[in-house]
Homo-oligomer: A and B are copies of this chain.
């Protein structure tokens, strides 16, 4: 089947299929005489695998490993779990940061709502309360 059909069958766009092939995530597809790529059901199955892994937020490199394990009869579940756990940790860390930002911003919005002050706490906080000193007097700066 053509790339367009493989795309709609797998849920991966034709653009992405070509991209995955280009970066070596997928083997180069067979070509017809015309130069058109040709896919079979196994290819579509693999594309679906990739799409579901992407839906779970796995990176391309992680999917590369998962694909290798997928087709490795002698794989160990521990290997797969290791990749999944690494990804889980990354996502949990990301979620923590996000929650921190949300909490901070919620607090700011809340105090901006309550106080009918002219000075909005959101703006005040971002402005760090005063014209910045030239020297990093506050040690909380991170190195550039």
Contacts and interface: CB of A to CB of B under 8 A. Distances in A.
Interface string A18-52: 00000011111010000000000110110011001
Nearest to A21: B144
A61 interface: no
Interface residues of A, number: 77
B81 A92 contact: no
Nearest to A13: B144
Given A11-B144, A77-B120, A123-B80, A48 B87 contact: no
Contacts of A95: 95, 98-99, 102
Nearest to A24: B144
27 contacts: A1-B134, A7-B144, A8-B144, A9-B135, A9-B136, A10-B141, A13-B144, A28-B142, A41-B134, A45-B132, A48-B127, A49-B128, A56-B101, A56-B105, A71-B133, A71-B134, A71-B136, A77-B120, A80-B112, A80-B123, A81-B120, A85-B109, A87-B105, A91-B98, A91-B105, A94-B98, A95-B102
